[in-house]
Structure 1
Amino acid sequence: MKRLAAVAASLGLAAVTACGGAGGKSAESGDLYTTIDALKPGIDANAPINPFNPKGNAFRGYNSMSLGWTKNHLTDPNQFYPGIAESWEIAPDQSSITIRLQRDNKWSDGRPVTAEDVKFSIGLAYTQGGTAYALNPGAAGAASDIQVVDDKTIKVTQSAENPSATFVRSIMETVVVPAHVWAGVLPADFWEKVKLARGEGPRAEAARAEITALAEKVTSFAPPKDVSAGPFVLKRVNPGEALLVKNKNFYNTAKIAPSYVKILNYTGNEQVWNYLIAGKLDNAPFIAAPAGVMKRIGETSGSGIVKGYSPVGEALAFNRSKKPYDNVHVRRALAYMIDREQVTKIASPEGGAASVTTSGMHQRAGKAWLGDGFAALEPYKVDLAKAGEELRAAGMKKNGARWVMPDGRPWKVTIAVPAPFSDWLAGAKAVTSQLNDAGVEAEVVTTADYPLYLEELAAGKYDIGFWLVALGPAPYNIFQRLYGASNGWQLFGGRLRHVAPGKEGNWMGGPETLDVEGVGKVNPGELAVKLNSAPEAEQKKIIAILAKAANQDLPVIQLWDYVNTQFVNTTRFTGFPGTDSDLLRLTSGVWLQLGMIKKK
């Protein structure tokens, strides 16, 4: 897994086979669109055609469909492009959403897509838990009622007990599958069990356990063939590629330019570089590449780059149970020593923009939410004199050219990164080089892969680690990265509690309350949770406090904001999203189904 997949998975992108098309048609004929899937590095030919299976051969926007596709607006998480849903009506207080399905959409086997399909798919989502489909009493943003109004209309109501501003997005992102294919997966009394599970007591607990126990049955289900409501249907898959053919029953099939889509397998950045240099891909999400490789990609006929907003940032995160990182003056000193512009040039010159400051937010979202208040935050520009003052305020001492601990013991900064993430690794090395030059002994330690890295990070094994932040657009999601479970705040059944460092995944180890200049004592975890249900005016006030808290307390040092950089090749197709288009956050399968992409 590479950094591309890590970013795509978080809101979240050469065994090269020839790109000849099916049925003797070639890519040059304009009938075949070729790409990679950032969400599925490493195609598993033996995986089921199942969107609930992590390795399943269901490709988002191609043969796997959601009710809608999130636009990733800077401040409003409830804007979408149509998918299975043609239109939707959101209650003013977000207490419900009424969804009207595409009138002419059919499954690839000819049956109509109905509201019963959507309700059944919601049932499958309940077995997976989380978001709107959590069954725990009092869970934030949980659905309380699903009503099939007619064959093409369904209404979902939010529980009034603990409403959430993310409820609508959770519903619209529901993956829809054909009930007639999946019918045997859920028991006949499933909805009675859901109703019971929402209550209290032993019977409710037993019902929740029964529903949760269905999760593995759902993820392992293997339909005998692909029955898709998307623009394409999976025809075949092998270790090198997945081939999809146009679904003639898709509601917008007349505007789908290619007859075939080929999704090529890759397991590393180098394979994607080779695809791009050879002109094999019509589109690819950004992958980290050195300057020389970027130059060669740019020289390929038809090759181009499109850039837009990406609500993700990269940061150094502190484990404050490790000394001396429990001292804010040490964290500030390190911030004053790091040249973020230089780090970004080395680590992510095409895919990142140096963070203006630490606020918890991407700089564009920060400016949208805070206005002039964003510029008032401390920028932590490189200033070794200020860094020295901060270290002395923490009791640190100079021993010759090196800073040491207050008791004279050596101090070594260790920064952990997963070895396969080339941009993270380059960034970490750039930071340690700068710290060594500033008199702080520093080194990079690597972990073999990303899953192990996350496991060891959560276990508190690292002093400092790279950490994705600013995961928008919902402000609750943004600040959960700083003031959520990783920093001790656990939300369960609508009740928030703060656990001690080292307990229940609290590896950041921050205090429960902070004194924020000009505000006073605040509980940032409580404020972050309030973002779930507060109206926009109150959200702005809360965000201003949390941004100031993050800027003052520095639970992390933000290094760069990701730029959503996409590779396109206009040799065969045109109509790709332009600079700053919100569509760049969606797969090219969505671009195709919306009728944007045209044959050259």
Structure 2
Amino acid sequence: MKLFKRLSILSLIALLGITMTACGDSGANNSNAKFTTVYYYHPISPGAPKNPYNTTGNSFTSFDKMQLAWSSGLATDLNKFYPGLAKSWSESPDGMKATIELQPKAKWSNGKSVTADDVKTSMAIAFTQGTAQSFSLGSVKVLSDKKIELSQVTGGTYKSFMHDALQQTVVPSFQYGKLLPENIWSVIDQSLYAGKDKAKAAQAKKAQDQLTKLGKSITKFAPKTDISAGPFVLKRLNPGEAYLVKNKYFYAAEKVKVNSVSLRNYTGNQQIWNYLIAGQLDATPFTSMPKNILTNALNKKTNQKITTPTYVAASLAFNQKFDPYGNVNVRKALAYVIDREAVQKVAEPVVGKPAKYTDGITDSAAADWIDSSVRSKMDGYNHNLDKAASILEKEGFKKKNGKWLLPNGKPWNMNIYVVNGFSDWIQGGKVISSQLTDFGIDAKPTIVSSFAQYQADMAAQKYAVGFWLNSLSPNMYTAYARIYGTPDGYNILNGKLAYYDQKDKTKGNWIGLPEKLKLSTDETVNPGKLTFQLNQLKPEQQKDIVQKLALATNEYVPMIEIWDYTHVQFVNTTRFDNFPVKDEGLMNNMPGVWMAMGYVTPKASK
């Protein structure tokens, strides 16, 4: 579902690495110390525009790119937020409206006030990017200069409406408003029509196409200067780093003790390891690493390891249009072939745990959602080569000279696609390939140049087998939408569920499960519809649906869960102290959020 445009995992948990640049004095520094970290949402590219809507744009979340509020990412409190440009917020009893009051002192870096009109323009742009539709936004009403009301589309039932609305990017209307036509809200209203009147439906389609066209032009917009409402503003950048300085107009500038920030570029995990071991990063985001790297990093006494909860799993996923992966028993056989514990020990020994079950969510999340009676119906797919061979033989596969042949007599070859720089995926792909080859299936890992290219190729149905990140969140809707959302053809359009099968290669359906699945309980379910229902229910009402989706995932194996991640990051106390290490929710956010709340203090020079 289009929700995923904003889900770049932690954002996408493995988009990490940096490019070597000078780092300055490694000893204690004074209040002029430059805070150095890695920006992991996207590479730094001097040629890209200073535009938060451009996927590679030079705009940096929590530093100069701002939201209304910042989510804690805690399973124990999904509605815990830290203030951003919003000072306060409230939701109507029926969840259909969200009223947001902006920070009274919020200003842009040119001194102009941040207003409700900026939020309204930003929400209009969100429609052109497809994100507003994903949380069923219908209309926006300016109540005062610093107060605004957001309403769900008529008939909307999305229970995470305010939760998602608070995480939208806010840009200045005086800079971006000129990119929108004067009648933009009329176009948006027309695009939201979901009735049966043919004339209005045609008008809606025309309006939707206009929004899409506008969205493309907005992503190309290249402002001459960075205008920030965050704690920092972009000063300069080069291929190795983005350099930002303190924004004197930031609404909480007196709390920000850091005067400048260096965001290092990345190309792979190994670079981040080198800087971490050398003690040259003041904060290190999540990164995959082997045990020897962890040991070397902790040998630097000022490096402090921080572990916080995460709900992300690495899986081997299948496109079922490719033979033989459309056969559920083949996918089950492969699950028995793969020794998950052996893969995890090599690929993710420090921040990974072998997945106990393939059920669509991490084991830590499953403990709260899946009853023992339901769990007893699930297969653990424990390593069992004899069982795998028996299944394949029943499906018409034959083994000749130690190699498995497809039922049509052709050799069985498998490319396992992984991403350059994702060291854990690459190592995992190698171990799985070795296990499959030993079993008699010729397999090899194939590396794709970038995650952006990987996602595009997955959506275009170019890969039969590849790694995928599933779960991603303690929010059960978000977790299962990683499988039964856009990847399986289900999209939310104007608050309604739309399904596209694999015949349409433009809609992102690369999994290709049947719409209806019969469970071992004899119940027939539509996993896309069940997932959609999750976003219309409060968490306490979701358990029955979650358990059905867990059963469907376990029985139909659209992907084999290999390991669960643990969120491990580091801070270095050589140059700064007062990190929010005891607040898991705050540590789950990027450093700009910490600094805006008064954390991170430069040490006095020695």
TM over 0.5: yes
SS in 2 for 1:592: helix
* Deviation at residue 488 of structure 1 after TM alignment: 3.8
1:412-427 correspondence to structure 2 within 5 Å = 412-427=413-428
| Aligned position for 1:536 | 539
2-structure distance, mates of 1:449, 1:45: 18
Q: Secondary structure at the match of 1:29?
A: coil
Equivalent residue, structure 1, for 2:34: 32
Question: What's 1:238 paired with?
Answer: 238
Contact persistence 1:141–1:162 (CA under 8 A): no
Q: Distance in 2 between matches of 1:32 and 1:72?
A: 28
Deviation at 1:260, TM superposition (A): 1.4
- Residue matched to 1:137: none
Q: Does structure 1 residue 165 correspond to structure 2 residue 168?
A: no
| Residues 1:551 and 2:545 aligned together | no
Q: Does 1:570 align with 2:564?
A: no
Q: What displacement does 1:172 show?
A: 0.8
Partner of 1:518: 521
Matched, 1:454 2:455: yes
Identity of aligned pairs, percent? Answer: 39
CA distance in 2, matches of 1:8, 1:227: 25
CA-atom RMSD, angstroms? 2.9
| Residues 17, 496 of structure 1: alpha-carbon distance in 2 compared, 3 angstrom cutoff | closer
Rounded to whole Å, the distance in 1 between the matches of 2:56 and 2:27 is 28
Separation of aligned partners in 2, 1:285 and 1:441: 36
The offset of 1:153, in angstroms, is 1.5
Shift of 1:548: 0.8
| Secondary structure of 1:57 counterpart | coil
1:587 aligns with 2:590: yes
Q: Give the deviation of 1:279 after TM superposition.
A: 1.8
Q: Tell me, yes or no, if the aligned pair for 1:498 and 1:512 is still in contact at 8 Å.
A: no
Q: Does 1:94 align with 2:95?
A: yes
2:498 is the alignment partner of 1:496: yes
Q: Following the alignment from structure 1 to structure 2, what is the Cα–Cα distance between the partners of residues 542 and 71?
A: 25
Assess if the C-alpha contact under 8 Å between 1:564 and 1:584 holds in 2. no
Q: Which residue of 2 aligns with 1:16?
A: 20
Q: After superposing the two structures, state which structure 1 stretch, 490-499 or 570-579, moved more.
A: 490-499
Q: Deviations over 1:195-233 (max 9, x none)?
A: 344342555544444443332443333444333221112
Hey, what's the Cα distance between the residues in 2 that align with 1:473 and 1:525?
19
Amino acid at match of 2:108: W
In 2: Cα distance, 1:390 partner to 1:144 partner: 51
CA distance in 2, matches of 1:571, 1:405: 59
Matches within 5 A, 1:335-414: 335-372=335-372, 375-376=375-376, 377-399=378-400, 401-406=402-407, 409-414=410-415
Name 1:149's counterpart in structure 2.
Answer: 143
Q: Mark the CA change 1:537 to 1:126 in structure 2 (over 3 Å): closer, same or farther.
A: same
Separation (CA, whole Å) in 1 of partners of 2:542 and 2:40: 32
- Look up the match of 2:476: 475
CA distance in 1, matches of 2:38, 2:408: 54
Q: What is the DSSP-based 3-state SS (H/G/I as helix, E as strand, rest coil) of the residue aligned with 2:310?
A: strand
Please give the alpha-carbon distance, in whole angstroms, between the structure 1 residues aligned to 2:545 and 2:178.
47
Indicate the larger mover: 465-474 or 450-459: 450-459
The equivalent position to 1:180 in structure 2, one of 174, 178, 193, is: 174
- Contact 1:346–1:427 at 8 Å: present in 2 too? yes
Which runs of no fewer than 5 residues in structure 1 stay unpaired? 135-139
- Once residues 490 and 212 of structure 1 are traced to their aligned partners in structure 2, the CA distance between those partners, rounded to angstroms, is 16
Contact 2:490 / 2:499 at 8 angstroms: preserved in 1? yes
3-state secondary structure, aligned to 2:309: strand
Deviation (angstroms), 1:282: 0.2
Deviation of 1:77 (Å): 4.4
1:212 aligned partner = 212
> Which residues of structure 2 form unaligned runs of 5+?
1-6, 194-199
Amino acid paired to 2:142: V
CA shift for structure 1 position 268: 2.9
For residues 204 and 400 of structure 1, do their structure 2 counterparts lie closer, same or farther at Cα, with a shift above 3 Å needed?
closer
1:279, 1:95 → 2: CA distance?
49
Shift of the alpha carbon at 1:307? 1.8
Report the Cα distance in structure 1 between the residues aligned to 2:499 and 2:47, rounded to whole angstroms. 43
What is the identity, as a one-letter code, of the residue corresponding to 1:457? M
Shift of 1:192: 3.8
Q: Per-residue displacement from partner, 1:555-587 (whole Å, max 9, x unpaired)?
A: 110001122221221112223343781333321
Residue matched to 2:196:
none
Q: Distance in 2 between matches of 1:265 and 1:436?
A: 37
Match of 2:61 in 1: 60
Give the stretch that moved more between structures: 286-295 or 538-547: 286-295
1:303–1:568: 8 Å Cα contact kept in structure 2? yes
Query: Per-residue displacement from partner, 1:148-193 (whole Å, max 9, x unpaired)?
Result: 1222221101013243234223311111122234443333343344
Kept in 2, the 8 Å contact 1:339–1:382? The answer is yes
Amino acid at match of 1:531: L
C-alpha contact 1:63 1:228 (8 A) present in aligned 2: yes
Residue 594 of structure 1, CA deviation: 1.7
CA distance in 1, matches of 2:342, 2:298: 23
Q: Which moved more, 1:340-349 or 1:72-81?
A: 72-81
Which residue matches 1:315?
315
The one-letter code sitting in structure 2 at the alignment partner of 1:34 is T
CA–CA separation in structure 2 for the residues paired with 1:250 and 1:273: 33
Q: Report the secondary structure of 1:589's partner residue.
A: helix
Pairing 1:279-294 to 2, within 5 Å after superposition: 279-294=279-294
Amino acid at match of 1:539: Q
Partner of 2:185, secondary structure, is helix
For residues 435-465 of structure 1, give each alpha carbon's deviation from its aligned partner in whole angstroms, at most 9, with x where no partner exists.
Answer: 3334444333333443443344334343321
Q: 2-side partners of 1:374 and 1:307: how far apart?
A: 31
Q: Supply the AA of the counterpart residue of 1:95.
A: M
How far has the Cα of 1:417 moved from its partner? 2.1
1:282-335 superposed Cα distances (whole Å, 9 cap, x missing partner): 012133334444333222241122122223211111222333333333222221
Label 1:531 to 1:182 Cα distance change in 2 as closer, same or farther (>3 A).
Answer: same
What one-letter code is carried by the residue in structure 2 that aligns with 1:19?
Answer: C
Q: Residue 453 and residue 579 in structure 1: after superposition, are their counterparts in 2 closer, same or farther (change >3 A)?
A: same
Q: CA deviation at 1:8?
A: 3.8
Name which of structure 1's ranges 161-170 and 395-404 shifts more when overlaid on structure 2: 395-404
1:114 aligns with 2:118: no
> Kindly tell me: are residues 502 and 76 of structure 1, through their superposed partners in 2, closer, same or farther at Cα, counting changes over 3 Å?
farther
What amino acid sits opposite 1:294 in the alignment?
L
- 1:256 paired residue number: 256
Give me the whole-angstrom Cα distance separating, in 1, the residues matched to 2:109 and 2:245: 11
Q: Deviations over 1:39-74 (max 9, x none)?
A: 122x22343332222233221101111001122232
Which amino acid in 2 is paired with 1:170? D
The number of residues matched between the two structures is: 585
- Matched to 1:305, the amino acid is K
SS of the residue 1:534 aligns to: coil
The one-letter amino acid paired with 1:195 is D
Query: Using a 3 Å threshold, how does the CA distance of structure 1 residues 371 and 288 change in structure 2: closer, same or farther?
Result: same
